[in-house]
Amino acid sequence: MLHAALYGDEGQAVILTYAWDRLLIDPLPGPRRPADFTGLERLTPSTWAVPAQARTVAPAGSTLPRLAAELPHTFALLDPYRGAEGLTHQLEDLVSHLEPESIDLLDVGGDILARGDEPTLKSPLADALSLAACCQVNAPVRLLVAGPGLDGELLPEDLADTLGPVVHTFAASDLEAISSVLEWHPSEATGLLAAATRGVRGTCEIRDAGLPVPLTDDSPTVHEVDLDDALSRNQLARAIMATAHLDEAETYSREICGYSEIDYERNKALWLKEQQPAKLDPATIWAQLDQFEREARARGVTHTTFRRITEALNLSGSQRNDLRQLLISSRPEQYDAPLWRIPDRPE
């Protein structure tokens, strides 16, 4: 979406990203590594591309093969299991091999700018690893933050003093290339960015914890941020720059932030194994949904994500798409793509 807006539709991008679907698609905690896939294609000695025909080794799951099938870009796998040093080596290999015209480090929401002690911060490790690597690669990297605050981890006002100039404000036309992807992809932050781009305003509740995220006129903006300024703020990124293993980086996260997001995923994965998800029974779903909407409305919520509804109704991630189809087909007037609108009804 950003590539088309900044560079046009002609050229293709190499999108280097984690296979880390946070238990939504993948029942295993933490990120996936190349050994968790079949059908990968080697780009460099340290980096693999994920083509459309790639598959995860059961029980792992990943959205990357389907993204590769539906979008014209090359998706390459970030492997954080060798720490920030390994990621830096991957970047150096790719820069040498591709000789790119530009390198952008993109974060939706802005938690890459976290100090590490913010009470709302939930997942600093993935961003800190990327930042630490990009600050060490021998090539110019531009840091961009899209949708300030949209990931629910930092408030927009907490970011205001660090955000640089606006390099783009998304318009509805920017969504054309990815609109079909948003119908199935579970990313909440990208979903909120798309909804805000389409003009949706209000407060959206996300994740299992029900974090409230404001959708404002600033939500569709993309800001440039000085890479060194980001590193000076991010204590975790500075601490893990010389790590050679993911477990080392996790140890620093526990020391600096008080937790590791992978520990949270490990605990949640064990909890989910012991739970019996509710059946997706249309006869009972509507009463449960009406109660959820009443409570959300009382909290001042105007919108929510289908991930949030799925977990609030005690359904499993594998039932999310079926629930989404049921709700949209029955109450299409509440679908503010790709979000669900909480109706403003009197108590």
Q: Give the H/E segment covering residue 47.
A: strand 47-49
Does residue 197 lie in a domain region?
A: no
Q: Could you tell me if 50 and 14 are in contact, meaning their C-beta atoms sit under 8 angstroms apart?
A: no
Alpha carbons 285 and 279: distance in angstroms, whole number = 9
Q: How many domains does the chain have?
A: 2
86 lies in the same domain as 27: yes
The domain of 310 spans 282-341
Does residue 135 lie in a domain region?
A: yes
User: DSSP of 16-35, one letter per residue?
Assistant: EE----TTTS-SSSS---GG
Predicted pLDDT at 9: 76
Alpha carbons 293 and 327: distance in angstroms, whole number = 13
123 lies in the same domain as 16: yes
pLDDT band at 347, cuts 50/70/90? Answer: very low
Q: Can you tell me whether residue 205 is helix, strand or coil?
A: strand
12 lies in the same domain as 106: yes
Alpha carbons 344 and 341: distance in angstroms, whole number = 9
State in Å, rounded, how far the first CA of the chain is from the last one.
Answer: 40
Strands 303-304 and 202-206: parallel
pLDDT at residue 191 above 90? yes
227 lies in the same domain as 336: no
Residue 138 has what DSSP assignment? S
Q: Can you tell me whether residue 346 is helix, strand or coil?
A: coil
pLDDT at residue 286 above 90? yes
Q: Which of 205, 239, 273 is the last residue of a domain?
A: 239
The number of angstroms, rounded, from the C-alpha of 258 to the middle of its chain's C-alpha atoms is 22
Whole-model pTM: value is 0.94
| Vertex 226: Cα angle to 241 and 148 (nearest 5) | 100
Predicted pLDDT at 316: 85
Average pLDDT, the chain: 94
